Amino acid sequence: MTDVKGNCVPARDARTGAARAARPRTAGGAAAAGSRDRVRPGRPGPSGGEGLVIGTVPAGARFAGVLLLLAALAGLVSAFPTYLEVDGQELVLGGSVLGVLATLLVPLVGGAVGVLLVRGTVPKFGLAYASVAGALSLGNLLIELYRGRSSTDRPGVEVLAGEQVLTSDIHIGAGWVAGLVALALTVLAGCVAAAVWGRTVMDDRGTLDAVRGPLAGTTLLLGVGTVLSLALPAADVRDDLVLDPATGLEVVVTREGPQALLERPGLALLGGLLLAGALVLCSVTAPSLRPRLAAVGGLLAITVTVLAAGISGLRDAVVSDDLDWTLPGVGLVVAGLGFAVLTVLAWRLRRSS
């Protein structure tokens, strides 16, 4: 055998050289194969044109999805059994159409996100949803603990499951227990999601970067508006007009209505403060999450939480003849719809930075 210059080369040496030359190519191919195992491109579809890459999904991320599914199951169960028994009156969260919608909205969305997270389809979308939902659920968890366990320490007028009641005697029901379990599991899912966020590889080409600033500013305004709306009852009693016998004029007599979010003592006050702080903080941080679908997941968690609160206030005003829908109640629904619009925009916008 001859080389390029025409010199004779033994066949054995030629085979050895060929083998040595082949080794780097083989090693490079193995490295490329290993790289493909660790990071895979996104599936074609809504995200296919933005260069989405997804790494190996950690087991903790799938565990957070399992917790979201369990929380969704508990939330679905909470709608139909007795929620609380107040002064002998049994209250059910899903006693009306609006009550069913307000109670089941968060579990249904959380269950769907949990399925995606367990499958590992778009992990940071699910992790962002779980983290934000867990932060918002902590305040609601403390408020529910107050309603079922501590509200009798200082009896007052409350609106529970669409009924105006006096919290002088309360017995918990299966619906309250299921709802409390759902909130606790959501908080735990948020903690797990936050812990595995840094170990989950998912990124894109920054298709939302050009509008993150205006998006964050708008969500902050909506978050502050939501907190201001939560500070007052979404449904309140109407004042009475009484004829003053001394003057013959009609005077307005204010009746005691339901307590506002920050008027309750103890755990309820702490829960209200945590909920208000988490709403503002998540409204700022959710639009900054990467990739784009992570921002969508964070905004989706805020949307369903605010919408559920707004629909609950509307339910209270519609079900009870003694309650009127207030301006803060309207503000909650408007804020929830605003967050929904921003979530859809973040999902649809794919402008390159």
pLDDT the model gives residue 289:
93
Amino acid identity at 117: L
Cβ contact 161:91 at 8 Å: yes
Distance CA 105, CA 307 (A): 8
- The pLDDT value recorded for residue 164 is 77
DSSP state of 42: P
pLDDT of residue 248: 63
What's the pLDDT score for residue 318?
A: 86
DSSP assigned state of 146: I
Round the average pLDDT of the chain to a whole number and report it.
81
Residue 292 phi/psi, 5-degree rounding, is: -55, -40
- Which residues of the chain fall below pLDDT 50? 1-6, 8-48, 351-353
Helix (H, G, I), strand (E, B) or coil at 346: helix
Rounded CA-CA distance 313/330 in Å is 8
Q: Is 292 helix (H, G, I), strand (E, B) or coil?
A: helix
CA distance 327 to 56: 48
Q: Is the pTM of this model over 0.85?
A: no
pLDDT single digits (tens) 278-305: 999 999 999 999 899 999 999 999 999 9
User: What is the per-residue pLDDT for 350?
Assistant: 61
Neighbours of 103 (CB within 10 A): 27
Report the pLDDT value the prediction gives residue 256, as an integer from 0 to 100.
56
